[in-house]
Amino acid sequence: MSNNENEQKLARNLKPINVWALALGSIIGWGAFVMPGNTFLPNAGPLGTAIAMTIAALIMISIAFNYSYMINRFPVAGGEYVYTKESFGKIMGFICAWFLGLSYLAIVPLNATALALIGRNLFPAVFQWGHLYTVEGYGIYLGEVLLAVVALVLFAFLCIRGVGVAGKFQTFLAFALVGCVLLLGIAALISPAATIENLTPAFQQTASGDINIGGIVAVIAVAPWAFVGFDSIPQASEEFNFSPKKSKIIMVLSILFGGLLYIVLNTITAAVVPDGYANWTEYIAAAGSLEGIKSMPTFNAAETLLGIPGLIILSIALFCAVLSGMIGFYMATSRLLYSIAKDNVLPSAFAKLHPKYKTPYVAILFVMGISLIAPWFGREVLGWIVDMSSIGAAIGYAFTSAATFMTIRKYRDAGAGLKINSVIGTLFSLAFVVMLLSPKEWGYGGLGIQSRIALVVWCVLGVVMFVVSHFKKKKA
């Protein structure tokens, strides 16, 4: 092997604990701290959410088994793109990568702008200055934009420095995140402010008083978005310094820890009800019209349990979740772009590795450049893109599961159980796509009109990108 070939190899610096932290940090983000008040409890209630997230985690674990098989067969950067291309050809590979890339890319600026939300809700005088304009009712402030810009630039260069540095920092953030959430969980168990009585009713109910089954299904439907991040593991598989066979247990543990953190935060939120409200249903219904900490049910629960220290603990957990999400999706998106570029589907510059750190620095800088646009449009517009990016994750799961079936059939190196599991994973993934595309009135997580328009635009851009790249290759 020539020195030039060595220069084109990604550095193998990721240990198992780093990869677990990479996945968990990508799974848990801002949403885990706000969804109890605006999605989980309003739809399913405390026990209903616990059941829904358990089911969602089991579905994701089933799909993770398919990923594990494919990682061992193709331990290279690119993950789903490589699996799909090898099984169904480059066109299908591009379609998978195009939608998956959106899912990854959208979450980088989502986490960066979440830093401004932390400041807006906890320290409004620090960054909420220099009002510029308003987009869809969301005020854009120069201080918040600069905060997001600094974070995006800083973490881009951290990721360029290499997976060794980023992986260690990611591991620290993941342990701090888990530790802080578990501290709050322990506080809820021993504090008189959190009671079992506050968790009733256990389920959200319909107008007729029945359990809202549709609400539980709606929570399950967000699984592609809630657990997107465990699939960052195959994107980094070329940088493992250990056997790919360990990827299965790493993915399972990241999903289990992610599901546990979602359930703990949601249960704490429901178990703590401010004075003046009979139960969590009354409080959650009124929270949107309240001011200060009480308008954020999970933050209110932390402050009620432990006072200012509780608020600090939750803020640290949220801060770690946001930062680890930025690192995770910077790495996942750049490795996906790197893999596609090596196949000449994207400009070859994306496949360039840093001469010293052996990271796809052009791809990372591209992700940074695109992400720097988002803070100027605000969270409402970014939310439209993030909502429809859930479809991208589900499409990636579907292609990987289908590719697993095709690969097993070709090589005959796995038992009937995994083959059946690949079919199950494909069907579940397609079910997620159908639920996400269903009319919002059905209550199963359907996309709003703005997200549907954004999805159409993304599809058109994909067609244009593929035609242009195909034309250039023919011309060459």
Which has the minimum average pLDDT: 102-106, 152-156, 260-264?
A: 102-106
Q: How confident is the model at residue 281 (pLDDT cuts 50, 70, 90)?
A: very high
Which has the minimum average pLDDT: 244-248, 307-311, 363-367, 472-476?
A: 472-476
Q: Which residues make beta-bridge pairs with 141?
A: 131
pLDDT tens digits for range 384-441: 777 777 888 999 999 999 999 999 999 988 889 999 999 999 999 999 998 888 876 6
Closest listed residue to residue 280, CA positions, set 161, 359, 198: 198
The pLDDT of residue 138 is: 85
The pLDDT of residue 2 is: 37
The pLDDT of residue 247 is: 93
Those residues whose C-beta lies under 8 Å from the C-beta of residue 231, and which sit 6 or more positions away, are: 67, 79, 80, 332, 393, 396, 397, 400
Residue 447 has pLDDT above 80, yes or no: no
b/e map of 52-69 (b: 16 or more CB within 10 Å)?
bbbbbbebbbbbbbbbbb
Pull the structure tokens for residue 219.
Answer: 């929570």
3-state secondary structure the chain: CCHHHHHCCCCCCECHHHHHHHHHHHHCCCHHHHHHHHHHHHHHHHHHHHHHHHHHHHHHHHHHHHHHHHHHHCCCCCCHHHHHHHHHCHHHHHHHHHHHHHHHHHHHHHHHHHHHHHHHHHCHHHHCCCEEEEECCEEEEHHHHHHHHHHHHHHHHHHHCCHHHHHHHHHHHHHHHHHHHHHHHHHHHHCCCECCHHHCCCCCECCCCCECHHHHHHHHHCHHHHCCCCCHHHHCHHHECCCHHHHHHHHHHHHHHHHHHHHHHHHHHHHECCCCCCCHHHHHHHHCCCCHHHHCHHHHHHHHHHCHHHHHHHHHHHHHHHHHHHHHHHHHHHHHHHHHHHCCCCCHHHHCCCCCCCCCHHHHHHHHHHHCCHHHCHHHHHHHHHHHHHHHHHHHHHHHHHHHHHHHHHHCCCCHHHHHHHHHHHHHHHHHHHHHHCCHHHCCCCCCHHHHHHHHHHHHHHHHHHHHHHHHHHHC
Q: How confident is the model at residue 472 (pLDDT cuts 50, 70, 90)?
A: low
Q: How confident is the model at residue 278 (pLDDT cuts 50, 70, 90)?
A: confident
Alpha-carbon Rg of the chain, whole angstroms? 22
pLDDT tens digits for range 75-112: 988 889 999 999 999 899 999 999 988 888 888 988 88
pLDDT tens digits for range 174-228: 999 999 999 999 999 999 999 898 999 999 988 888 888 988 998 998 888 889 8
CB atoms within 10 A of CB 96: 28
The pLDDT of residue 7 is: 46
Task: Tell me the average pLDDT across 279-287.
Answer: 90
Pull the structure tokens for residue 98.
Answer: 């195009």
Which has the minimum average pLDDT: 122-131, 269-278, 397-406?
A: 122-131
Residue 307 has pLDDT above 90, yes or no: yes
Residue 475 has pLDDT above 80, yes or no: no
Are the beta carbons of 145 and 135 closer than 8 angstroms?
no
Cα within 13 Å of Cα(314), Cβ side = 32
pLDDT tens digits for range 37-75: 988 999 999 999 999 999 999 999 999 999 999 999 999
**Structural domain boundaries in the chain:** 13-475
CA distances from 229 to 57, 65, 207, 245, 421 (A): 13, 15, 36, 19, 21
Residue 3 has pLDDT above 50, yes or no: no
Residue type, 80: E
The pLDDT of residue 442 is: 67
Average pLDDT value over all residues in the chain: 89
Those residues whose C-beta lies under 8 Å from the C-beta of residue 75, and which sit 6 or more positions away, are: 237, 238, 240, 244
Are the beta carbons of 17 and 171 closer than 8 angstroms?
yes
Residue type, 307: G
CA–CA dist 227, 220 (Å, integer)? 11
Q: Angle CA(388)–CA(390)–CA(391) in degrees, nearest 5?
A: 75
Those residues whose C-beta lies under 8 Å from the C-beta of residue 58, and which sit 6 or more positions away, are: none
The pLDDT of residue 173 is: 94
CA–CA dist 97, 101 (Å, integer)? 6
Please give the class, per CATH, of domain 13-475.
Answer: mainly alpha
pLDDT tens digits for range 331-359: 999 999 999 888 888 888 999 999 998 89
Q: Beta strands 138-141 and 131-135: pairing type? A: antiparallel
CA–CA dist 228, 224 (Å, integer)? 6
Q: How confident is the model at residue 275 (pLDDT cuts 50, 70, 90)?
A: confident
Residue type, 446: G
3-state secondary structure 351-363: HCCCCCCCCCHHH
